[in-house]
Structures are given as C-alpha cells and as structure tokens.
C-alpha cells in the first residue's frame, strides 16, 4: 500500500466516524426534551452525515472530483460543529469532536502529492 492510499484511507475513516457521530446526534436529538431548540443543529447533523457518507464512497472509488468533494466535507463538518457546540448533550459534543477531526483531516494535502 502506497502513502497515497494510506492517506486516502485515513480520510475515508474520518468521514465514516463523522457520519456515525452525526447520525447518532440526529437520532438522539429527536428524543431530547429541548427538541425545538435543537432543530437547527439537527438539520446540519443530518446533512453532514449524508455528505460524509457520499464522500467516503467517492474517495473509495477514486473520484476525479476529490478536491471539490473534500472541500464540501470540510465546510459541512465545520458548520455542523459550529451548530452542535451550542449544546451540552454528550451526543452533540461527540458530533463536534468527530466533525472537527474530519474537517482537519480532509483539509490536509495528500501525503504523496
């Protein structure tokens, strides 16, 4: 396995982690007493999850639009983290952590480029 592949696998793994944390945050939020105030944050979590899932699949098949799709991931994860960090629920904090990490990893240049 080359450096390029290791690097891509790290990005795919970070996207899957963020997808899982965001989906968990969305589903858990639906059961919270403060559902109404969580609403905006939930929309970002749902969409960040979808974008991360799409990006993982695209990276995996070697998309020619890697740069553009990673830029979308970074933007979605950063905005999702900004919304989620307004809340103290554990699932919101886990989403913030996974999204910040995914945004950082997906905004780094590839090791071998």
User: Which parts of this chain interact with its own copies (CB under 8 A)?
Assistant: 9, 12, 16, 19-20, 23, 26-27, 43-44, 47, 49-51, 53-54, 56-58, 60-65, 68-69, 72, 75-76, 79
Neighbouring C-beta atoms of residue 60, cutoff 10 Å? 13
Q: At its nearest, how many Å lie between its own copies and the CB of residue 67?
A: 10
Residues present in the chain in total: 113
* Burial profile 63-79: b = 16 or more Cβ within 10 angstroms, e = fewer: eeebeebbebbbebbbe
Q: At its nearest, how many Å lie between its own copies and the CB of residue 88?
A: 20
Q: Which is nearer to its own copies, 25 or 100 (CB)?
A: 25
Give the burial class of 97: count Cβ atoms within 10 A of its Cβ; 0-12 exposed, 13-18 middle, 19 or more buried. Answer: middle
Q: At its nearest, how many Å lie between its own copies and the CB of residue 75?
A: 6
Q: Which is nearer to its own copies, 21 or 100 (CB)?
A: 21
Q: Which is nearer to its own copies, 57 or 111 (CB)?
A: 57
Q: At its nearest, how many Å lie between its own copies and the CB of residue 96?
A: 17
Tokens of 17: 């982690």
Instruction: Please give the DSSP secondary-structure letter assigned to residue 106.
Output: H
């Amino acid at each position: 396995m080359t450096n390029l592949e290791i690097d891509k696998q790290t990005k795919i793994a970070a996207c899957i982690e963020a997808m899982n944390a965001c989906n968990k945050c969305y589903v858990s939020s639906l059961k919270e007493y403060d559902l109404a105030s969580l609403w905006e944050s939930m929309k970002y979590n749902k969409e960040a999850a979808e974008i991360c899932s799409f990006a993982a699949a695209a990276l995996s098949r070697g998309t020619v639009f890697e740069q553009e799709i990673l830029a979308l991931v970074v933007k979605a994860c950063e905005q999702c983290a900004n919304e989620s960090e307004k809340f103290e629920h554990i699932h919101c904090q886990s989403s913030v952590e996974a999204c910040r990490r995914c945004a950082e990893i997906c905004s780094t240049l590839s090791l071998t480029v």
